[in-house]
Amino acid sequence: MLSTIGMAQNFGDFSYMSPKKYKIHDIKVESSHNIDHNVVIAVSGLKVGQEITVPGQQIASAINKLWEQDRFSDVQILSETIKGTSIVLIIKVEELERWSGKFKFKPNVSKNELDDIQEALGFYDNQRITQDNLKQVNKVVRGYFIEKGYFKAKAHSWLKADTLVGGYDIMVKLDKGERYKINAINIEGNEALSDGQIKRQMKDTKEKHWWKLFWRSKFITSNYEKDKKKIIAKYVDMSYRDAEIVSDTVYDFDEKTINIDIKINEGNKYYIRSINWVGNTKYRDGQLDTVLGIKPGDEYNQSVLDTRLYMNPSGSDVSSLYMDNGYLFFQINPVEKQVSNDSVDLEFQIYEGKQARIRTISVSGNTKTSDHVIIRDLYTQPGDLFSRDAVIRSQRELSQKGYFNPETLGVNPIPNPEDGTVDIEYVVEESPSDQIELSGGFGAGRIVGTLGVSFNNFALRRLFKGPWNPLPAGDGQKLSIRAQSNGYWFQSYNLSFTEPWLGGKKPQAFSFTAFHSVQSSQPIFQRDGNGNILRDADGKAIRTEDRQYLKISGVSVGLGKRLKWPDDYFQVYHQLSFEKYNVNNYGSVLSFSDGVANNLSYYFNISRNSIDQPLYPRTGAKVSFSFKTSAPYSWFDGVDNYDGLSDEKRFKWLEYNKIKFTTSWFAPLTKDKKLVANARFGVGLLNPWNKSKGVIPFERFYMGGSGLTGYNIGGREIIALRGYDDQIISDQNGDPLIAKYTLEMRYPLSLNPSATIYVLGFAEAGNSWQNYKDFNPLKVKRSAGLGVRIYLPMFGLMGLDYGFGFDPVDSNHGAAPGHNYDILNKGYHGQFHFTIGMNLGEL
């Protein structure tokens, strides 16, 4: 008869009270599966001929080694025969079952739920399944559905042989129970905060009410625990430093809902009795008190205190005071020296350290943009004193470039305390910045196709020398080529180039632009009835005689510069441009049908741009003032009276001045800075230098619609006003005065630089006027609506809006034909608008 070895109690001939020594004569293996017996023996550590003590440590050790393999459900070592001091052992093992890779739920769960559960468990095919594994399955499945709101979910799992693929399936019997919602949250002990104020802190634990269509009321334990911490955080922010939740209970209200009872002990409201600074030598106590902005007698608000010490968004905190002046190793430790009754004595222990200078600047992650292009725009340079503000400004500058993913920009300061220096590494992630424009628009009754390419990180020096990867890129230059056409009726070609660092030493941007357009109602060459080009006897194409056309050609050069005063957010830009309008028997577009008009102008712009990033700004503002003017030719052309002159002669040289002021402000409305408000305002004024000569028919404003349709002929500016037909707000010949107001609320759905998407709600108003007598910036056309913006790197920003116009429009307005004035005169007219580009339709 077999007897078990190594047990604590007596069994057969073996006893711990009188252990005996034996020599192993043979070792046999018995198993439930086809297993290599030699492997089992080798793992046990037992050998034939080995002397062992029975019962003893060798047998226990062998059993443990086999259990450690995690492949057996049962392990026993028994004696088969004993002859004198010789013993034959049997190792008896039961192998764990292998998992087939399948979960089977009763009832079934969705594929997404199954994928989430499998990912959380981390099991792999052919894994041997233990009872602990099955307990883990029960725990994970139950926890998963509790997080989904099934507060009383239950799960039971077991193994079942899979005869088709082999192995064993994990079967799970699931009882979700009811999806519990919260009937009521009852709060006791609160006085400083009302029930409603406390419940508003519980962002993810909401009571069930019929009017709360967009709030979840399901109970999730993890969210509830987080919300309890938010309640205490709110009390601490209100100076109740001892506030605590004494008890809380969750219990059934009925079969589908629960109640939550919360008992709060608010404690005393604390005040600051005294403030003492220790360790400061750079700044006096009074200077630090001024920056801190907290004085004895104020409420002891931990959130305000932290903001004033470490992280004021405006940069006016004690930490910034030091770290913007090179004190990288600065530390401050607030200590509550004494707390009694409702008062706290604060001591701020300061370690200033040495001022640190920047030793090296490096960049990582840039696969296309050259290092020097990145480093030259940074506000931190080798040899400078370390400044946290300069680091933040440098990050903003990198974000503004548009070459990198603004959500992943990073900075790694590497301090060197030994020599008082710091190395700074900027971490970037390249994102596509080049764009292809392939679009169609509708203007003047015809479809216009546009093809354009914009290389926003171009490298002219690599155009002929290389390398191309896949294009000559990396020097921060901009090259844009664009063409528009709808056949012979309209053609336009545009080329522009910008070098942001002219000469390579200072941030002075040089730009060059050239364009040419032709508009005609006749083809260049004569055609037969089938559209084929007619040719003479020599095979040459026959040109159309006295072809009607409007040709516009122009060239401009500009120079921009970053200013240091009033601060380095300011920029100034100068541009000199010349445009020539050549009209041949072509009416209705300009005020004359034959002749030439010349526009030699100087443009000046001063702007301040402090927005944090261009694609989805959250903070900052952009303010711009521009002045565009020609020479006042009427002051010296010798003409006393222009009344008798034709427009062809009157406007041979355009004479005007044009003033525009625009501003755009961004402010986050939530702590995560996702919900953002954007307020914009713009006004434009076109004036003559000589009133008797009159306002030129060029450079005027046309308001209404998306801003996408129509042609930019004669310098006209097409300004969007959603909710109305295109250009219908203005006179059909344009207006010299305009004002526009916009308020948008934006929320992102995706901030991935490869596909940035955000939704918006807007309210805007605007109008344009013929003269100053009628000018009234409060008499405007109003609209509101919803929209979505999608940014794709290759195509830029695209949008779709639905605008609802509230005010009627005069029937003698509108530059484009086909407007439905009957509807517009009644007001309340809604329509969709498609837009392309970030600044399309803006002043």
pLDDT tens by residue, 697-741: 899 999 999 887 666 677 889 999 999 988 899 998 899 999 999
Same domain, yes or no, for 103 and 21? no
Look at residue 578 and tell me if it is in a domain. no
Look at residue 571 and tell me if it is in a domain. no
Backbone angles phi, psi at 297, to 5 degrees: 100, -20
374's enclosing H/E stretch is helix 371-375
Same domain, yes or no, for 423 and 446? no
Look at residue 189 and tell me if it is in a domain. yes
Q: Is residue 213 over pLDDT 70? A: no
What's the CA gap between 448 and 445, in Å, rounded? 10
Q: Domain range spanning residue 36?
A: 3-95
CA distances from 668 to 11, 618, 786 (A): 78, 6, 19
Confidence bin at 96 (pLDDT 50/70/90): confident
Predicted local distance difference test score (pLDDT) of residue 749: 93
Q: Is residue 819 over pLDDT 60? A: no
Look at residue 472 and tell me if it is in a domain. yes
Contact 397, 614 (CB under 8 A): no
CA distances from 167 to 162, 170, 257, 648 (A): 6, 10, 42, 93
Predicted local distance difference test score (pLDDT) of residue 448: 67
Predicted local distance difference test score (pLDDT) of residue 10: 33
Look at residue 386 and tell me if it is in a domain. yes
Q: Which residues of 108-118 are buried (b: 16+ CB within 10 A; e: fewer)?
A: ebeeebeebbe
Contact 786, 802 (CB under 8 A): yes
DSSP 749-807: EE--TTSEEEEEEEEEEEEEESSTTT--TTS-EEEEEEEEEEEETTTEEEEEEEEEE-S
Look at residue 517 and tell me if it is in a domain. yes
Same domain, yes or no, for 687 and 805? yes
DSSP 439-463: EEEEETTEEEEEEEEEEEEE-TTHH
Residue where one domain finishes, among candidates 175, 198, 229: 175
For residue 798, the 8-state DSSP code is E
Same domain, yes or no, for 667 and 619? yes
Q: Is residue 542 over pLDDT 80? A: no
Residue where one domain finishes, among candidates 562, 588, 608: 562
How large is the average pLDDT for residues 44-52?
88
Share of the chain above pLDDT 70, in %: 92
Predicted local distance difference test score (pLDDT) of residue 374: 93
What's the CA gap between 718 and 59, in Å, rounded? 92
The residue behind tokens 């040089």 is 510
Predicted local distance difference test score (pLDDT) of residue 101: 85
Predicted local distance difference test score (pLDDT) of residue 447: 66
Same domain, yes or no, for 145 and 215? no
347, β-bridge pairs: 276, 335
Same domain, yes or no, for 747 and 781? yes
For residue 841, the 8-state DSSP code is T
For residue 569, the 8-state DSSP code is T
Same domain, yes or no, for 298 and 261? no
Q: Is residue 11 over pLDDT 50? A: no
Tens of pLDDT, residue by residue over 218-240, are: 788 888 899 999 999 999 989 99
Q: Is residue 605 over pLDDT 80? A: yes
CATH code of 667's domain:
2.40.160.50
Q: Dig out the tokens for 731 from the structure.
A: 């006179």
Q: Is residue 575 over pLDDT 60? A: yes
CA distances from 362 to 251, 414, 499 (A): 58, 11, 23
What's the CA gap between 91 and 338, in Å, rounded? 70
395's enclosing H/E stretch is helix 388-401
Same domain, yes or no, for 668 and 817? yes
Mean pLDDT of the chain, nearest integer: 87
Confidence bin at 817 (pLDDT 50/70/90): very low
Q: Dig out the tokens for 124 from the structure.
A: 């792999």
Look at residue 586 and tell me if it is in a domain. no
Predicted local distance difference test score (pLDDT) of residue 8: 32
Same domain, yes or no, for 245 and 393? no
Tens of pLDDT, residue by residue over 479-507, are: 999 998 877 778 889 999 999 999 888 88
Same domain, yes or no, for 278 and 377? no
Residue 215 has a CB neighbour count (10 Å cut-off) of 12
The residue behind tokens 């099991």 is 123
Confidence bin at 13 (pLDDT 50/70/90): low
CATH code of 258's domain:
3.10.20.310
Share of the chain above pLDDT 90, in %: 46
Tens of pLDDT, residue by residue over 173-201, are: 999 888 888 889 999 999 999 999 999 99
Predicted local distance difference test score (pLDDT) of residue 821: 46
The contacts of residue 593 (CB under 8 Å, 6+ apart) are 583, 585, 586, 587
Same domain, yes or no, for 315 and 457? no
Residue where one domain finishes, among candidates 237, 265, 293: 265
- Domain count along the chain: 7
Look at residue 25 and tell me if it is in a domain. yes
Q: Is the peptide bond before 697 cis (omega within 30 degrees of 0)?
A: no
Contact 777, 685 (CB under 8 A): no
Q: Dig out the tokens for 8 from the structure.
A: 């604590």
Q: Dig out the tokens for 675 from the structure.
A: 């919900």
How large is the average pLDDT for residues 594-605?
94
Same domain, yes or no, for 723 and 626? yes
Instruction: Could you list the beta-strand ranges (E) of 255-341.
Output: 257-265, 271-278, 331-340
